[in-house]
Structure formats: structure tokens, C-alpha cells
Chains A and B, each alone.
Chain A
Amino acid sequence: MADKTQTMTVSIWREDGDDGRFEKYEVPARENQTVLDVVAYVQQHIDPTLSYRFACRVGMCGSCAMMVNGSPRWTCRTHVSKVVADDRLEVAPLRNLPVIKDLATDMDPFFEKWVAAEAVFHPSKTRHDPMAAITPDDPMRIAASEAIECINCAVCYAACDVVESNPDYFGPAALNRSWSLVNDIRDDGQDVRLDAIGSNGGCHNCHSQQGCVQYCPNELNPTLSIAGLKRETTKALFRRSR
């Protein structure tokens, strides 16, 4: 059991319709605690007006992502001891998204871009049709599987420098989802999808800097998915012009 008198200082971004600033709080320095535990402690014991977002606390729901010491992290699975630098812990709202209040960001632009990137399923069958037979070793199934474990946490979106400089860019998560659907033989919307991801906000804006790969908590590779999209849109261009 850790010494209860030991404390540490955490800087948390506070913003409520104003300019915003970091405020310092003294919290218990426990041996085992996540960044989300620290934020929850501040809200429950020091300042109940602190706003933040979380749900599952086990790395499944993708709600609790924040900037921790300048890097985007899923805070419920990020241990303070692993990220604390020079006894400094700084928690801020996710980059590249508008702030609603304190640590809670407005996720609308993030999800609107999923729709714009046609990262939505277009069914090709009804419930009366037989189920599609897809074997586990099918190359398209394998490609889809590699991209499918996204929890929509927006960590990649916050890590992406192209998103920062290009407000139209769909971002890694939306394009990664599009790629899993490009590899779904049950999907009937490939033409509209390829048009969407070849548009001004699409996959061709990616500079392959791999910030998304670096920070994805589920160790996905959106850059690889985006490379796949570039390949497919190129193929489609030649296919259609024939």
C-alpha cells in the first residue's frame, strides 16, 4: 500500500467558453493509477465542476482519450508512471477537435468525417438472402481484420499533423474504416466510397508521417489502410476510364 501522504501535481486544462488555461492540483501519488484515475480524483475530491468524458474504463469504448504530456492517449489504460516526465503530468483535451468544456471535446467533426468518407456499410442483401460465405484465409477478410479493431477514440485524429493543417481531411480513423469496408464483399457502395475517398478531403492528402500508427492504442496501422485506399482509387481510375 502506497504512502497516503505522498502527493503529486497534475496540470489540467480548464476551459468554459473562455480562453482556457492549465490549473494545478495536488493529488495522491499512488503506485498504480491511470491518468483517468487522476482526473476522476480531481473531479470527485477537489473540483466537481471539472468536465471530462469516460465510460468503460477498460479500453473498449474509446471515450476517454486526452492529451497527456502533449501526446494523445487513452487515459483509462495509460498508467501515470509510464508517462510522467520529470514529475510533470499535464492533461489537456484532444488536439484537432473543438473543446466543449475542460477536457471534453466536441466529437461531431470527427464522426461527420466518417460519414463523408463513406465509412458506412451499404448492405447488398436482405435478411431473406443466405449469409455471405467468407473464409478466414480470404485475403480481403485478412485485410479487413487488420483494420477492424478501431474503438473510435480519435487518438489518431489528434496525432495527425495533416488533420491539424488541413481542416477538410477526413483523418486516419475514417479512412481506416473505409478501407475495412472496401474489403467487405457484402458491401454494395464501393463506387460512391471510392469517389468520396478520392475527393478533396480524401486519402491522397495523407503524407504518410505515421503519427496515427505511433499512437493508436490498439496498434492498428491506418497509414497502411490509407496506402491501400490510394492503390484502390488509382486502380478504379484506370478501370473506369477503359
Chain B
Amino acid sequence: MLNLHLYMLQRLTALIMAPLVIGHIAVMIYAVQGGLTVDEILARTQGSVAWFLFYGSFVVAVSIHGAIGLRVISFEWFGLKGRALQLFSWTVFALLFGLGAKAVYAVTFAGGGL
């Protein structure tokens, strides 16, 4: 079930995610081909405001985008409605955000600190 606001939120988060995904994949391909070791990556990301913003905004966008997408699927395919649908959407958001925030913390804070 989509209204204008959910639709716009999903499109805008997609716009944010698109360049971030490309950046993420480019760095991954470079790193796994012998470009960077784990230590070298962490040395660059830990304590870096830029990488925190990069992955932080990605996690926020993914959590919103994914929660809205799964909300539509759960409504159309499984008939979830009303409060159950609200609860499901917010739970998915919280789960994605929690897992993502944990990863961002590990890569940009832990051991280093801003």
C-alpha cells in the first residue's frame, strides 16, 4: 500500500543509494583484487568522517527503502493491514537500521573513534 509520501520516500532513498552502491562496489572490487588488505581498509575508514557519512547515509536510505518495499509486498501478498502492517514496517526498518548501524560503528568508530 503506497501513498504519495511513502512513494516519494522510496524514490528519494533510491536516488541516494544509487551512487553509494556504485562507490561501495568499486571499492570492493579494488580491495579483493589485492588492492587493499582488511587492516589497510580499516585504517582508512576508522575515524573517518567521510566514510561514516558514506555508509551512515547508505544505512539510513536502505532501512527506509527496504521497509517500504517489504511493506508493499506483505500487504499485497500476505494481506497484512492496519496496525499489523505498521508494526511490520517499523520492525523491518528497526532491524535494517540496527544491523547497518552496528556495521557502520564497527568500520568507522571501533578501535579508532572520530
Chain A contacts to B: CB under 8 angstroms: 162, 165-166, 168, 198-200, 202, 204-205, 230, 233-234, 237
Contacts and interface: CB of A to CB of B under 8 A. Distances in A.
Interface in B4-47: 4, 6-8
B110 interface: no
Contacts of A200: 1-3
Interface of B: 1-4, 6-8, 72, 75-77
B1 A234 contact: no
B1 A165 contact: no
Nearest to B77: A165
A169 to B, nearest CB: 9
Contacts of B4: 198-199, 202, 204, 233-234, 237
A166 B1 contact: yes
17 contacts: A165-B77, A166-B1, A166-B75, A198-B4, A199-B3, A199-B4, A202-B2, A202-B3, A204-B2, A204-B3, A204-B4, A204-B7, A205-B72, A230-B7, A233-B4, A234-B4, A234-B8
Contact of B76 (A165, A198, A230): A165
A168 B72 CA distance: 13
Nearest to B7: A204
Given A166-B75, A200-B3, A230-B7, 7 more contacts: A166-B1, A168-B1, A200-B1, A202-B2, A202-B3, A204-B4, A204-B6
Contacts of A198: 3-4
B8 A237 contact: yes
Contacts of B76: 162, 165-166
A17 to B, nearest CB: 25
B8 A205 contact: no
A182 to B, nearest CB: 14
A26 to B, nearest CB: 41
